[in-house]
Amino acid sequence: MDPTRSTHVKLLAADFLSLAVSPSVPPTFTRRTRPVSRAEAVGVVVSRDSRQKFLRFLLDDGSGCVPCVIWLNHHLLLPRLSTSAASAASADLDAASARAHAGKVRLGELLRVRGRVTVYRGELQITVKDVVVERDPNSEVLHWLHCIKLARDCYDLLPPATATDYRR
């Protein structure tokens, strides 16, 4: 399996917004034919829209603005007939974690986010799982350099040969 499918691919906004979207349901995403399902982005919060069920915000890294969403409706997602205490506890943890992450999203803050690549109304976005506030301003520059190096040395290359190829 191509490793880009299972890692959080570090992308500049312009690169992220250029991902190809398949017409399948659910859609899949590729970057130069390599699959991408999760992404990591770093940028400054330039807009924030808080609703009861979700928080939407934009991360600006200078090359584009990445739309991000944090879902806050975990309490509504539990199956009605579920009586599992473990499920309820897990959902509570997810909800608490999501609220904590949402609390970090403030205008002008430099954030690092990780999450799944999704599409909403035809627009690529990151459904955020983790948010880190980056206090060190050099961390953003380091992320840019990582994106450049990974693009050149990994993402732009053909995927690694599969195990079957070695058996021939």
Partner 1 sequence: MASSAIQPGVLVALQELEPSSPFFKEGQSVRVTGRLQSYSAETAIAVIVDGGANLSIDTKHLRDISFRTDSIYQFIGELIIQHENHVVVETRVGRNVDGVDLNLYHQSIQLRRKLESDLLKSKPNPTF
Residue ranges that bind partner 1, judged by CB under 8 A: 12-15, 17-18, 32, 44-49, 56-58, 60-65, 67, 107-110, 123, 136-138, 141, 144-145, 147-148, 151
Nearer to partner 1, 13 or 102 (CB): 13
Q: How far is the CB of 90 from partner 1 (least distance, A)?
A: 30
Q: How many CB atoms lie within 10 A of CB 124?
A: 18
> For residues 14 and 88, which CB has a smaller minimum distance to partner 1 in the complex?
14
Nearer to partner 1, 71 or 91 (CB): 71
Q: How far is the CB of 98 from partner 1 (least distance, A)?
A: 18
CB of 57 to partner 1, least distance (A): 8
Sequence-separated contacts (24+) of 120-126 with Cβ below 8 Å: 120/67, 120/69, 123/67, 124/16, 124/17, 124/19, 124/21, 124/29, 124/67, 125/66, 125/67, 125/68, 125/69, 126/16, 126/39, 126/41, 126/66, 126/67, 126/68, 126/69
Nearer to partner 1, 11 or 98 (CB): 11
Residue 48 vs 114, nearer CB to partner 1:
48
Nearest CA to 61 out of 145, 161, 5, 155 is that of: 145
Nearest distance from residue 60's CB to partner 1, in Å? 5
CB of 56 to partner 1, least distance (A): 5
